[in-house]
Structures are given as structure tokens and as C-alpha cells.
Amino acid sequence: MTTSTGEPRPATARSAPAPRALAAGAVGNFIEWYEFGVYAYFATVIAADFFTPHAGGAAEALVRTYASFAVAFFFRPVGALLLGRAGDRFGRRPVLLASVATMSGATALIGVLPTYATVGAAAPWLLTALRIVQGLSAGGEFGGAVSLMTESAPPGKRGRYGAWQSLTVAFGLLGGAGAATLVTAALPEAQVAAWGWRLPFLAALPMGAVALWLRLRLAESPEFRRSQQSRAAAGPAAGAPGEGAAWAQVTPGRTAFAILVGCGRLMAWAAAGYTFLVVLPSYLQNTVGTSPQQALLTTVVANLGFAATILPAGALSDRVGRRTVMVTGAVLIAVSALPLLHVVQDRGSPVWLAYGAVAFAGALVGLLAGPGPAMLAEMFPTAVRYTGLSVAYALANAVFSGCAGLLITELVHRTGDPDVPAYYLVVTCGLGALALATLRGDDHRRTLHDQSATGRS
């Protein structure tokens, strides 16, 4: 990978060493997943405040809450396409600044929204509108941050550098769980329902200020600057912002096909991550009957297991390849989903066994999330990497994550079968393992420029 282009650097941005690129890229992802975690952890409270008409029931309100959750995910591909194209044309840095400012602002506004009791039917619509804004901004966050991280990574370390993006998912969800636990422990239940739930959302405002400060100090990735220099050297006769001969491989058809393949390869990660790490609290409260505090603690343990394996999995994929690590994770989840869920469902299980089961489940998701960002980065050339990464990730999460809570809650409610989450994981992780098996074995040893030049994915 070329690391120096001789391009004059902006006066407002300093050099962009890889550690700084890690911090600046990861901080926005932390805020995004912190908010999604807080929303999921307070789903039952939000359902009561925003989605419960006088004639509505608790289960119906929770389904509507998850429907609002899913709506935001389905706007992520739109944001991914718009912001991704801007990021490939104008640079990673300005788009990442815009995305984190919008995300943190919309999250903070949720903390001051009036409830159904105050403004009636307008309340769920206002909440959904802010969720849509979050979806649009989040759509451009992942692809830009992963592009920045992997394009700034030293040779042979893309897996571990990209894994930091996934680690901030765990940190964000743990931060959300910690904030929710602190609020529920410090305040009586009535005060949590009345106003306490708002505090974690309002905390996104200072987080966003820190993220903006970090990204304002960052320069563009060396790979993007090299691509821009190639475009300038080729001149307008080249007809496209590519990388010389490599642009011949960057056609809309090839890019669209790579995005669809990327969605399939992300299926297991998206489905398992949301089932075990986000949907679990509401599932435990509404299906198993655990207390809110116990459900939150169980989810914290799952996220600790998740966090523990992300960086080792990313580093291991730099040695043995993305395919080996990720296929192993998907197959293990498919095989163990039902036994692990039965342990959690059994109120007579020893505490150590229940916590061990959810920690193991989280650790298996880490096998997918660690190598995942680098795997995606290696599928797209620099000229369309931001767009390809963003759209593939957003589509996969819209279908397999955003709908997970809605689908699982509705099916459990209609069928009465508490094993629905396990069935969902068996199907998605089984199919995901087949898609991951199509990965090449040597992507981790090639430079991003070499992969761009060949057009292989």
C-alpha cells in the first residue's frame, strides 16, 4: 500500500497516522451503537411512552417499537448510497464529519421528545422521523470508517485494524447497557419511566462533540489520496475517477454484484449480533420473565464475551485468512444456537452456566465481527470502496438485524414458541456460512491496491 503521495495537506488537518485513524474512525461507530443499544435496552419503556394508545396492549406496543427500530435500518441503505458516493468523490473525512454530527444530534433530540400522553399520535411519528435521520447518517458511518482504517493500516494488519470498528460495536452496546443499568439502579422504576430513560440519549451530545474534535484533526487516508492523484494524472480523458487500468473493472454491474455477495457474507454476523447482543434484553423480559436488571446484566456478559474475541479474531484472520475464521464462527453459531438458548430459558440453570452460555454466544459473534470489516474492504476497489462497504453493510443490517427484533417478537407472540430466536440463527448462519465459503483464501495477503487492480472480490 502506498503511504505517501506528496499531496499538500490541508492546513486544518494534521498527518493521519494509523492510530489516529483508528480513534477517529471508531468513535462515530461507538456513538451509533451506543444509541441502538440504549434504544433496545429501553424498548419496553419507549413502547409504553410512545406506542401505547389507550386500547393497545404491551406486546402490540413492543412490536411497534421494533417496527420503528426497523424503519431506521431500512433508511440506512439510502444514506449509505448517498454518503458513500460523496465519500468516494470528495473524501472520507468530510462525510464522516457530517455523519457523526447528524447521528449525535438526532440521538440527543430523542431525549427531549414529548410522549404519547403529551402530544398523542404525533409522538410515535416524531420518534420515527428521528430514527430515519439516524438511519440516513448511520448508513455512511461504517463504510467511511472502515475505509479510513483499512486504507491507513500497515501491511498485513488490515484484519486487526478493521476489527477496531467492530470492537466499538461492543463498547457502544456495553456503554448503552452501562448507562441503562446506572439509570435503572439510581432511580425508582416510576422515575425511569417518566424521565430517567432520557438521560442516556442526551449523553450523545458531548460524545458527538468529542467525535467531531477527533475527526477535525484527521487528514485523508493515504490510499484515497493516491487514488485521487491517479485520477488527476489520468486526466479527464479517462472518463472516470478510477485508478488507471483498474477502473475498467469498476462497472456498476460488478459493484452491484459485489454488494449482493457482501450482503450474503454479512448475513450471519448481522443476524447473530443483533439476536444475542441487542434483542436479548427484551426477549428475556417478555418471553422468559426475567427482571429488567437481570436482563441487562445478562446482555452485558454477552457483550463482554463478544468484545473479548474481536481483536484476536481480526489478528488471526491476518494470519490464516478471513474465510477460515468467519466460516468457523458461522457454523458454530448455527450448531449451538438452540442449546445455548435452552440454557438461558431454564430459570433453574446455575448462574455461572447461564452467564457462561451468553458469554460464549457473544464470543462466537466476535469470530465474525473481527475479520468482517477487512473482508468487506478487500471486496471493493478504492474508487467505490466507501459506497460498496456502506451499501453492503446497510442492506445486510436492514434485512437481518433491523428486522430481527420485530420478527422474533412477532413470531414468539403468535406461535408461543420461545425457540424462535434459535431457528432464526440456524437458518441465517447456515446460509451465511455457505456465502463465506466463497471467499478467496489469499485476500489477507494482498494489498488493497493489488486487489483493486485485479478487480477480484
**Cell, residue 66:** 421494533
pTM reported for the whole predicted model: 0.79
Strand, coil or helix: what is 216? helix
pLDDT tens per residue across span 432-446: 999 999 998 888 888
Neighbours of 120 (CB within 10 A): 11
- CA 172 from chain center: how many Å? 10
Written in H, E and C, the secondary structure of 367-431 is HHHCCHHHHHHCCCCHHHHHHHHHHHHHHHHHHHCCCHHHHHHHHHHHHCCCCHHHHHHHHHHHH
* CA–CA separation, 186 and 198 (whole Å): 14
Residue 368 has a pLDDT of 97
What are the Cα distances from residue 59, in Å, to 37, 47, 68, 80, 130? 20, 9, 14, 32, 23
Which one, of 289, 45, 52, 287, lies nearest residue 183 by Cα? 45
**How is residue 55 annotated by DSSP?**
T
Q: Which fold has domain 18-220+246-454?
A: Growth Hormone; Chain: A; (1.20.1250)
Among the ranges given (176-185, 244-253, 263-272, 344-353), the one the predictor scored with the smallest mean pLDDT: 244-253
Strand, coil or helix: what is 195? helix
What confidence category does residue 54 fall into, taking pLDDT thresholds of 50, 70 and 90? Answer: low
Contacts of 77 (CB under 8 A, 6+ apart): 139, 391, 394, 395, 398
Residue 4 has a pLDDT of 39
* CA–CA separation, 451 and 158 (whole Å): 13
Residue 249 has a pLDDT of 52
Decide if pLDDT at 112 tops 90. Answer: yes
Number of C-alpha atoms within 13 angstroms, CB side, residue 117? Answer: 6
Decide if pLDDT at 243 tops 50. Answer: no
* CB 303, CB 171: distance < 8 Å: no
Most confident of 201-210, 277-286, 288-297: 201-210
What confidence category does residue 173 fall into, taking pLDDT thresholds of 50, 70 and 90? Answer: confident
* CB 184, CB 415: distance < 8 Å: no
pLDDT tens per residue across span 8-52: 344 333 444 567 778 888 888 899 888 877 887 787 788 778 876
What are the Cα distances from residue 429, in Å, to 38, 51, 201, 360? 26, 32, 32, 16
What confidence category does residue 101 fall into, taking pLDDT thresholds of 50, 70 and 90? Answer: very high
Residue 238 has a pLDDT of 46
Q: Write down the mean pLDDT value for the chain.
A: 82
Decide if pLDDT at 77 tops 70. Answer: yes
Decide if pLDDT at 133 tops 50. Answer: yes
Residue 52 has a pLDDT of 67
What confidence category does residue 106 fall into, taking pLDDT thresholds of 50, 70 and 90? Answer: very high
Residue 153 has a pLDDT of 84
Type of residue numbered 175: G
Which one, of 287, 269, 272, 406, lies nearest residue 345 by Cα? 287
CA dihedral 219, 220, 222, 226 (to 10 degrees): -130
Among the ranges given (211-215, 238-242, 250-254, 331-335), the one the predictor scored with the smallest mean pLDDT: 238-242
- CA 196 from chain center: how many Å? 26
Decide if pLDDT at 103 tops 60. Answer: yes
Residue 62 has a pLDDT of 66
CA dihedral 206, 391, 24, 232 (to 10 degrees): -130
* CA–CA separation, 180 and 242 (whole Å): 46
